[in-house]
Structure formats: C-alpha cells, structure tokens
Amino acid sequence: MTKLHEVKAEIANKIKSSKAIAVDVDGTLTEETGEISLQAISALREMKKKFRLKIVLASGNSYPVLMGLARYIGSVDLVIAENGGVVGYGSKFKVNGNRDIGLRARELVKRRLNHILAESWQNQFRFVDFAFKLRKGHSWSEAVKLVSNLIEKEIPEATSTFSGVAIHVKDRSVNKGLGLKVASEMIGISTKEFIAIGDSDVDVEMMIEAGISIAVANASPKALKVADLVTTKPYADGFMEFYKLISRILEAKSD
C-alpha cells in the first residue's frame, strides 16, 4: 500500500498503458453526505474525452438505478451492477450467478433478522444480489456478524458482504471481480488494462483483478490492504486526487 504522492515508475508505467477505469460509486464518487460529486462527474467525462479511457461504473446498486446514473453522467461505456451480478449497458446486459441462491438468502434474512434489517426498496428490481438496510437501535457490526453467521450456516453456497451502506446477500460466486472479467470481455480488453478504484469490502475482488488498484482514504481495512495506491483524502475528494495524478501522468505521456 503506497500513498498516491509516492507513485513509483512501475505503477506510473502501468497507468500510461491502461485503457479503462472501473470506479465504485457510493463512498468513492460521492461526498460523505452520500451526494454524488459534480467535480467527480466532470472528471469522468474528461478522462473519457481527453484520454480516451473506457469508463465503467461498478456498484452494489440495482441495474436500473446504476443505468439511470450512467445515462445522465454520459461518457459511461458499461455498468457493473449488483456487485457483479449484472453487467451491460441499456437493454444489452448479462446476469451472472444463480438467482435462486440469492432469493433463498434474501428470504432467510427477512424471516430471521427482520427486527434488525429492513429490505431495500431496490430488491424488487434486482436479479442476483439483494440488499438490506439497518433498522434504528442496532449497529452495523452487530448486523454484519449475524447475517454472516446465518448465511454460512444455512446457505453455504451464498455469501454476505457489507458495502458501507447496506448488507448484500447473493450467490458466493458473484463479485465485482467477476463483473470486471465480464466487462473486459464486452469491451475487448484485458482486466489488467483496468484501473480500479473503490472504498469497501465489495470492491476487493475487482481491485485484485485489475491491473492497478486505488483505495480512497475512507476505505475499509480489506480494501486498503489490497490497494496499490491510497489517496490522502476520503470520498470524492480522494477520487479527484486520483484524477489529478493520472492526468499528470497521461499528459506527460503525450508530450
């Protein structure tokens, strides 16, 4: 793990040869308030226009929600929704994993932990990955542990993850790393030609699969551990720090 201002020649060279950016949304393109940063949107557009990088949004959000965001941001080539469960753009998308496993896990959590977790309104629009929000009077650490133990015991072919904003349950074969592999096939490049940037446990597999991984300063311990570079600032400010770095490197490349 290296701070962004300590970039070595090896990583700078990888950045120069990169062809795409895979970026998480919540906690990475957003402010601490959860609002998306207008500066970050402008930076994505600039990376597409000026440096001709492919832009992929990778999120735990449902496909319709993420596609709506991509449509209005513009410059987005693909989306990886449901933490790798759905990959595509518009009416052309691929669903990964076993939906029945996710549905069983969803029903189990609803039946056994309804007093702690409330089902996300997005679940009615989801294919594979189902999300739950915390009820008042409880802690995330308590909920994460209870869901993890329940799923591991009752449905071992499923898994649960905490994104920082919700607990997700799904087929354990599905993650953003798988989503990145599918996205790379759709775009026609290697996963190692991606730069991945994120902030939470659900971003870890994507960060490992990519050629270069960046964690913003507010990232989870697991995300920080696998990151090649870590920003000094959190949330969207960290993303803007990353944008300024790669802009310097890519502009130098064209000189």
Q: Which residues contact 78 (CB under 8 A, 6 or more apart)?
A: 54, 56, 57, 87, 88, 89, 183, 186, 187
Give start and end residues of each alpha helix (H) in 74-220: 99-112, 140-154, 176-187, 204-209
Strand order of the β-sheet with 20-24 is 2-3, 229-230, 212-215, 194-198, 20-24, 54-58, 78-81, 86-89, 92-95
Q: How many CB atoms lie within 10 A of CB 232?
A: 12
* Residues facing 104 on adjacent strands: none
Catalytic-role residue among 24, 26, 171, 199: 24
Examine the residue annotation and report whether 237 is marked as an active-site residue of this protein: no
Residue 219 and residue 227 in contact, taking contact as beta carbons nearer than 8 Å: yes
Q: Which of 198, 231, 196, 222 is nearest to 210 (CA)?
A: 196
Parallel, antiparallel or unpaired: strands 117-119 and 86-89: unpaired
Only one residue has tokens 């929704």, namely 81
Q: Which of 186, 184, 175, 182 is nearest to 226 (CA)?
A: 175
- Collapsing DSSP to helix, strand or coil, 109 comes out as helix
Which residues are catalytic, by number?
24
